[in-house]
Amino acid sequence: MKKESVKALVDCLGKKYSEALGIKLSHKNDSEVFKWFLASLLFGAPIVESSVFKTYICFEKYDALTPKKILERGWDGLVKILDEGSYTRYDFKTADKLLEVARNLTENYRGSLNLIHVHASDSRDLERRLKALGKGIGDVTVSIFLRELRGVWQKADPSPTPLVVEAAKRLGIVKKEATVENALRQLKVFWARNKLTGRSFVNFETALLRLDKDYFRKGKSPVFL
């Protein structure tokens, strides 16, 4: 894959999801990090992206963007927000999950995700602690969340999601037989050789994710490559 193609890919598809939602992670502010965790929990379900954006905007509308506010809303209030955002298929169990996360985060880490990062011994321990916040928080959700914290949190180094790996294999960036761990190493090596000024590895990962989800899986050919 030529560098011009890498630039076209990242320019077209590499905008971070947190940036698209107006979330600013660079200063490690507790409130902004929690907003992104909330969004990541929503993105973690097999639901169309537009519904996630709409639902997150509803959480903004009802000022339910902190652990305290989520607990104050209660189960009925959260279900109302989720339903208004067209998150109806997963409304009940997502409300359960959000309340569990808010309680555990408040009781064990004073409501601070940054504190989880401080206490974690390494990247794998960080992932384990995040999963322990609530039932149903799995690898995909944690990878979504930590992907955009690369370069912000020192211990944020998640494995790429299956969508990212599949796109990279199709483009010949990652070997067909590569494991997830090997895929991450190969992606980092490729980016080190082809990195772009003003762009990060996160932009590259995000572009690959969108490429597989919005093009390859729909049988579309990206004209910008």
What is the residue-wise DSSP string for 102-118?
A: HHHHHHHHTT-HHHHHH
Task: List domains and CATH numbers for the chain.
Answer: 3-16+160-218 (no CATH), 21-138 (1.10.340.30)
pLDDT at 169: 96
143 touches 189 (CB < 8 A): no
Q: In which residue are the tokens 């076209």 written? A: 8
pTM of this prediction? Answer: 0.94
Give one DSSP letter per residue of 112-145, joined into a string: -HHHHHHH-SSHHHHHHHHHTTSTT--HHHHHHH
- For each of the chain's 225 residues, which pLDDT tens digit applies? 888 999 999 999 999 999 999 999 998 999 999 999 999 999 999 889 999 999 999 999 999 999 999 999 999 999 999 999 999 889 999 999 999 999 999 999 999 999 999 999 999 999 999 999 999 899 999 999 999 999 999 999 999 999 999 999 999 999 999 888 899 999 999 999 999 999 999 999 999 999 999 999 999 988 888
Residues in the chain: 225
How far apart, in whole angstroms, are the C-alpha atoms of residue 33 and residue 49? 20
Report pLDDT for 108.
97
**Residue-level pLDDT at 26:** 92
Residue 154, pLDDT score:
96
